[in-house]
Structure 1
């Protein structure tokens, strides 16, 4: 199966096609008490523009300001995919152990039937997790053609190209999965709250959400406090949002998730947290004896 051609972003006359207007309030809490943490030119990824990361003084949420437009995100995802395709199998033994450890984060008695890995890339996590959960069906979702390569390599059973927040994808996958995982994906989305709501929608009641997110509050984290030039040029300007752990946990609870675990998961910088949450059914929500299913994507033999 030949991959779908990747469309070129089109410039718009008189406006910046890659960035939205700069905002003067926090996208998380609405506060106008902002300070600039990082201002840096383009890095090795050669994405156009000077990138600014602002931080809210009230809730400590850090975010790129201005935020990329849809064309800007398209350009970002396309260039990341091209770089990753140059080395389609970068998982060494240490990284493989980390992925297996993430797969073991579920309760010991749980053997899920269906698992969706969001932002799966080449599908290395499903490949490693299948060693721990051999009877689980792993599907992958990614906005780049890498997910098609993961399907062709047999790392995922079903591949979905796009964003979890796309209405068509969310309608097809609603209440289908027992586990949804997002590894260093949430910080690269345009709206982390919308992404969490979409994850909740594709989970069955009682299903588990597994997250790994950067922790900007830890020493040597993603945002250097003093020498801003220490921000890795290769990673500039990848994170769109850096959500403090307390903000993220509060948002999950507001979406009727029960927090089962939240702990550091990387011994070396950049620091990250692994969060396991279970979707609970609110008291007012109707219960059904059987979760709705969705039609799998049609795939032709390559």
Structure 2
């Protein structure tokens, strides 16, 4: 049986070969204008490293002073996206991601209730579905609805094999959308648009694919959340370098309207997942102990002494994590009405 250490050792030569060629080639040229409104009034909001996987690189988020849109600048190119996504959701990261998504049922149910309050869809397409965990939970609440999924990764094929969805589309949504125009009552994009190169093009493709009266459901990290400023680079929802765009809700509303979609429901407090402080604590503590973790993109595994020291130090941090957990509980109780919610949801109906 292949162990995790074996899998890491197997991937190490490819990673080291990629890194030997340098990482500057993974970035496009810096843009001097906002990708949302074309304004040239830009300012650096955040400089950070990859605090999740600890792959090398420095990433910059800039904010548009005119519309508030936040975007990665310079942006990763296709090769860069492949490098930094590799072994995050699939491969080495698949087991951990499956455990995380398995704990998200409450959030999944909230998404489903929001849609079900307006329509009982016959066919629902989830874009960026990954391994289909949301669809499995949604089917439990809407047993008469047929659920399909779309994703660029093999995760969507795995989801189909596991019976979490009926039909699997693998590829880019913008390119595939004309194939199923008018077919789905609901198209959902949950934590998807922030990962895309051109979120406006994705939304336009969804609007074109929906029949009149169909619904587009969107969930996004809320860049106006107070924790974004308080926690800085340790705010997990920045998720650099994967999140290319962070969209204020007012910008999303305006774009939906321009596409002939009317917002019929909006949630800001309800989607809050209540893990900002504890996640920040875990990331910060882990960053200080990273020398003791076996990573495929590092030249060699850690010595036994360093691995043991990391384990001891992490165990000693349990009281800090417990305190962070309590802060998150209080934050959740206070509610998103005070700007503490880290996520928002919007449901829009195609009216023209």
Alpha carbon RMSD of aligned pairs, Å?
A: 2.7
Task: Select 1:103's aligned residue among 105, 112, 131.
Answer: 112
Task: Supply the distance in 1 between the matched residues of 2:23 and 2:118 (Cα, whole angstroms).
Answer: 55
Q: Which residue of 2 aligns with 1:198?
A: 205
CA deviation digits over 1:178-234, x for unaligned, max 9? Answer: 10111111111111101101111221221101111111112103xx36x63434499
1:42 matched to 2:12: no
- What are the ranges of 5 or more consecutive residues in structure 1 without an aligned counterpart? 1-7, 282-302
Contact 1:36 1:52 in 2 (8 A): yes
Q: Structure 1: how far apart are the matches of 2:113 and 2:238?
A: 30
Q: Find the aligned partners of 2:129 and 2:210 in 1 and give their Cα distance.
A: 17
Give me the whole-angstrom Cα distance separating, in 2, the residues matched to 1:74 and 1:104: 34
The correspondence of residues 143-292 of structure 1 with structure 2, limited to 5 A, is 143-166=152-175, 169-221=176-228, 224=229, 228-232=232-236, 235-264=239-268, 265-267=270-272, 268=274, 269=276, 271-281=342-352
- Counterparts of 1:13-92 in structure 2 under 5 Å? 16-81=24-89, 82-87=91-96, 89-90=98-99
Normalising by structure 1, we get a TM-score of 0.81
Unaligned runs of 5+ in 2: 1-14, 277-340
Given that 1:10 and 1:17 are in contact with CA atoms closer than 8 Å, whether structure 2 keeps it comes out as no
Gap change, CA 1:94 and 1:146, over 3 Å in 2: closer
Query: What TM-score does the superposition give when structure 2 sets the normalisation length?
Result: 0.70
Closer, same or farther: CA 69–253 of 1 in aligned 2, 3 Å: same
Task: Label 1:261 to 1:177 Cα distance change in 2 as closer, same or farther (>3 A).
Answer: same
CA shift, 1:75, in A, is 2.5
Tell me the SS of whatever aligns to 1:116.
strand
Larger helix proportion of the pair: 2
CA-CA distance at 1:107 after TM superposition: 4.8
Return the index of the structure with the highest Cα Rg.
2
- Figure out how many residues of one structure are paired with residues of the other and give that number: 269
How far, CA to CA, are the matches of 1:229 and 1:182 in structure 2?
25
